[in-house]
Structure 1
Amino acid sequence: MPCPLYIVDAFTSGPFTGNPAAVCILTGRESPQWMQNVAAEMNLSETAFTWHLQTNEWVLRWFTPGCEVNLCGHATLATAHVLWQRGVGRDMIDFRTRSGLLSATRKEHVIRLELPADLPVELPPHMQDSIAGLLGVQAEWIGRGGEDVLVVFKQANDVRELQPDLVLLKTLPFRGLIVTAPGDEDGVDCVSRFFAPAAGIPEDPVTGSAHCLLAVYWGQRLGRTILRGYQASTRTGIVVMELSGSRVILSGLAKTVLTGEFNG
């Protein structure tokens, strides 16, 4: 049976910006292998699969071209946008995921995601030396969250100009690499980029899950609970972060750029 398929730019700041995610609306009977095959066919950083559970509750799973992941912010935002576009629910949707229950709310065009906070922990010196040597840029701080390594540079240009060896990055015992530095523009608290070649994503355009870690790190460093992040990929994107206890609320815009059916 054909399934409705959408491609949505999430955390967009204008035309052809943000992170494209595919969203498939399913019956719930499709196998994980089928979902993985569809994600490989779409070849975007994430393809989201969702089906109705009860009332305003939906199951949500995320796949890169190479594997299923535990959390994806931009594809969650894209999925909420699509469901509201289809007239589902009112102003709140709950998703049952591998990371627990996640909530999406909307106010006018802005979508807010309530996601688990990711706590940064400094890495041992020998691991810091290994990662710094791999990147070839002096870092201020190197730590990790639940799945990703976090490298903090002194200047935003170090983030913008970084050209990591993606083959070597695959050897790290982490899902991905987040590099970040203080913002260098008015209204931007931090600049970041995200690389996850081991998961089939050489560089992700705008990464919601990375900002669950960035929000905690920069919130602690700056003494703030609301921050604005700029992901300096080729496409770029803006993520507003709000710390709320053990949760991080990410806010952003989304735009549907393609609507169709998948017939595989």
Structure 2
Amino acid sequence: MKLTIHQIDAFSSELFKGNYAAVILLESWLSDDLMLNIASENNVSETAFTCQSADGSFAIRWFSPLMEIDFCGHATLAAAYVLCEQHTITQVRFSTETVGELIVNKNNDGSFAMTFPKQAPEEVQLIPDALLAGLSIQPVKVLKNRQAYFAIYDNEQQVVDLKTTNEQLKKLAPLDVVATAPSVEYDFISRYFWPASGGDEDFVTGSIHTGLAPYWAGQFGKNSLSAYQASQRGGKLHCEVGDTTVTLTGHAVRYLKGTIYL
């Protein structure tokens, strides 16, 4: 069996920036074990598998090198990039078993606007010891949603300088950790750490902005925000916060197209 594999740099208009994702379009689902083995072999932060449904939507699943992930924004962007190119369309509807329907529209400038469910975090009163032990700089407060703990800092330099202890952060599984602060050039910046479920630090994490954007929208009193994930590769996002949704807009660029032999 041969499968076509696409590798896309998401949340960037330049190669070697943003976050890389592999995309594999299927006619029917492979076994979970095989998809995980493929994702492990790819060894990028996520591999997205899609399969078209009878209603024209595309079911999508995401795998890190370690496990299946229940929601991934940058790999959804990468999958939309491939599907829009292959089918000559400007809108993709993704169906998921974990976060419902995800709608992605391709804009005239080549960017992609992804409408996701809003996942606003709530403040944590009892902060886990492992979280504090795992961060070299103590946050001013901590919040949490279904995906991660949010470590809030006063300024962006603290986020840039932050160091983590993975053995401590792994104790927080299944939750990951995002560090965030207001920014001078952007409305806010962030960094995302997920040693228990994917790797040390994710380059650009679309899903966590469904929690970051609502938080900072409340702090700044506005619903349109610019964001930057301050990883080694870096990535830019535009966020629009609605009543129940967050729309994330970013670019993507192709790195490769190849063949997997099974």
Q: TM-score, normalised by structure 2?
A: 0.95
Residues in 2 aligned to 1:29 and 1:201: alpha-carbon distance in whole angstroms: 26
Residues 1:91 and 2:90 aligned together: yes
Give the letter aligned to residue 201 of structure 2: E
- The 3-state SS of whatever aligns with 2:134 is helix
Residues in 1 aligned to 2:130 and 2:176: alpha-carbon distance in whole angstroms: 15
Aligned to 1:45: 45
Give the letter aligned to residue 5 of structure 1: I
**Identity of aligned pairs, percent?**
35
Q: Write out the 4+ residue segments of structure 1 that deviate beyond 6 Å after TM superposition.
A: none
**Cα distance change, pair 64–219 in 1 and its aligned pair in 2 (3 A):** same
Give the letter aligned to residue 201 of structure 1: G
Give the letter aligned to residue 92 of structure 1: Q
Aligned runs of 1:214-225 on 2, under 5 Å? 214-225=212-223
**Cα distance change, pair 159–126 in 1 and its aligned pair in 2 (3 A):** closer
Q: Give the C-alpha shift of residue 55 in structure 1.
A: 4.7
Answer yes or no: is the 8 Å Cα contact 1:56–1:92 preserved in 2: no
Residues 1:113 and 2:114 aligned together: yes
Residues in 1 aligned to 2:120 and 2:150: alpha-carbon distance in whole angstroms: 11
Aligned to 1:79: 79
Residues in 1 aligned to 2:41 and 2:15: alpha-carbon distance in whole angstroms: 24
Answer yes or no: is the 8 Å Cα contact 2:147–2:208 preserved in 1: no
Aligned to 2:198: 200
Q: Give the C-alpha shift of residue 140 in structure 1.
A: 1.8
Give the letter aligned to residue 135 of structure 2: L
Q: Give the C-alpha shift of residue 147 in structure 1.
A: 1.8
Answer yes or no: is the 8 Å Cα contact 1:190–1:228 preserved in 2: yes
Give the letter aligned to residue 164 of structure 1: T
Deviation per CA, 1:9-44: give whole Å up to 9, x if none.
Answer: 000153311000000011123111111110000001
Residues 1:29 and 2:23 aligned together: no
Aligned to 1:247: 245
Deviation per CA, 1:110-135: give whole Å up to 9, x if none.
Answer: 101111111211112343x6523431
Aligned to 2:16: 16
Give the letter aligned to residue 65 of structure 2: P
Deviation per CA, 1:205-243: give whole Å up to 9, x if none.
Answer: 000011111011101111111101100000000011101
Deviation per CA, 1:75-123: give whole Å up to 9, x if none.
Answer: 00000000111125x2211111121111111112010111111121111
Residues in 1 aligned to 2:226 and 2:22: alpha-carbon distance in whole angstroms: 25
Q: Which runs of 5+ in 2 are unaligned?
A: none
Q: Number of paired residues? A: 260
- The 3-state SS of whatever aligns with 1:78 is helix
- The 3-state SS of whatever aligns with 1:12 is coil
Give the letter aligned to residue 181 of structure 1: A
- The 3-state SS of whatever aligns with 2:120 is coil
Q: Which runs of 5+ in 1 are unaligned?
A: none
Residues 1:232 and 2:230 aligned together: yes
Aligned to 1:124: 125
Answer yes or no: is the 8 Å Cα contact 1:143–1:149 preserved in 2: yes
Answer yes or no: is the 8 Å Cα contact 1:63–1:69 preserved in 2: yes
- The 3-state SS of whatever aligns with 1:170 is helix
Answer yes or no: is the 8 Å Cα contact 1:13–1:238 preserved in 2: no
